[in-house]
């Protein structure tokens, strides 16, 4: 039977899950605050730890309950009909986690497996909790206008992104404004300065005169 502190931990874990659903961020500080601090605060303010040893055991237990409740909440949501991608077909485990997809990418079998999935499920396949693989060429123009997702950013949780990780127009503008002066288009030499521009053909030299 759960004690009061466990109920508080479970409710906090559910609340944290909702925060991550609403706020899509790659800030390391943000993740650290919401994933590490709640069990510490609950143990300190809710439990009646009378000694350091009891406090440590309670803290470990609180972390276990917190992460278990958070994981179950995430999995339940990803499998629920309320998920935005629930109507798209795909393997069951791909709906819960991206670990299988990551393993196939490392092993070099990703493209082969994706082809097999499309042969089985059709042109649109759910290949992750928040990912779709689309084989229909007619969808290319529509997809080109959408912002890039976390697949392009990968593990870059700070503010330094690779070029492929530019996911929004505003971020692209800020990146362009911070481009070093030597790389800005207005500093590039013109064709006239480099001598590489289009020129008219030079006249054919005439042969030696006869007289």
Residue 166 lies in a domain: yes
- Is the CA virtual torsion 89, 130, 99, 93 positive or negative? negative
- Summarize pLDDT for 151-205 with one digit per residue, the tens: 565 544 455 555 555 555 565 566 566 555 555 454 445 445 445 444 444 444 4
Residue 198 lies in a domain: no
Residue 59 lies in a domain: yes
Spatial contact of 191 and 198, defined as CB atoms under 8 Å apart = yes
**Cα torsion through 33, 36, 40, 45, rounded to 10:** 40
- Domain co-membership, 30 together with 92: no
Residue 64 lies in a domain: yes
**What kind and span of H or E run contains 163?**
none
- Domain co-membership, 8 together with 74: yes
- Domain co-membership, 66 together with 8: yes
- Domain co-membership, 99 together with 34: no
The structural domain count of the chain equals 3
Q: What is the DSSP letter of 86?
A: T
The rounded distance, in Å, linking the Cα atoms of 73 and 83 is 12
Residue 35, C-beta contacts closer than 8 angstroms, at least 6 positions apart:
16
pLDDT (mean) for 27-39? 92
Among 49-53, 55-59, 137-141, 159-163, which stretch is predicted with the lowest mean pLDDT? 159-163
Question: Can you state the angle between helices 4-22 and 28-45, rounded to 10 degrees?
Answer: 160
DSSP string covering 106-146, please?
Answer: HHT-HHHHHHHHHHHH-SEEEEETTEEEE--GGGHHHHHTS
CA–CA distance from 54 to each of 43, 44, 48, 203 (Å)?
A: 10, 11, 9, 96
The rounded distance, in Å, linking the Cα atoms of 82 and 86 is 7
The rounded distance, in Å, linking the Cα atoms of 71 and 61 is 15
Kindly indicate the confidence band of residue 211, based on its pLDDT and cuts at 50, 70 and 90.
very low
- Domain co-membership, 115 together with 161: no
Domain range for residue 175?
Answer: 152-179
Q: Which of 79, 110, 135 is the last residue of a domain?
A: 79
Q: Which of 79, 97, 121 is the last residue of a domain?
A: 79
The rounded distance, in Å, linking the Cα atoms of 130 and 134 is 13
- Domain co-membership, 113 together with 156: no
- Domain co-membership, 44 together with 23: yes
């Amino acid at each position: 039977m759960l004690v009061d502190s466990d109920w508080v931990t479970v409710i906090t874990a559910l609340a944290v899950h909702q925060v991550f659903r609403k706020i899509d961020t790659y800030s390391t500080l943000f993740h650290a605050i919401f994933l590490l601090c709640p069990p510490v605060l609950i143990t300190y303010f809710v439990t009646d730890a009378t000694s350091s040893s009891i406090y440590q055991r309670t803290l470990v237990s609180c972390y276990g309950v917190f992460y278990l409740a958070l994981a179950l909440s995430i999995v339940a949501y990803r499998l629920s009909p309320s998920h935005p991608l629930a109507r798209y077909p795909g393997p069951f485990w791909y709906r819960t986690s991206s670990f299988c997809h990551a393993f196939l990418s490392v092993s070099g079998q990703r493209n082969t497996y994706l082809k097999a999935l499309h042969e089985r499920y059709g042109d649109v396949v759910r290949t992750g909790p928040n990912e779709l693989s689309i084989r229909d060429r007619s969808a290319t123009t529509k997809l080109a206008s959408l912002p890039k997702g976390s697949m392009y950013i990968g593990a870059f949780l700070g503010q330094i992104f690779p070029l492929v990780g530019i996911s929004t127009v505003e971020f692209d503008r800020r990146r362009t404004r911070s481009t070093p002066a030597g790389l800005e288009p207005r500093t590039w030499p013109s064709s006239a300065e480099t001598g590489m521009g289009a020129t008219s053909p030079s006249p054919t030299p005439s042969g030696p005169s006869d007289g």
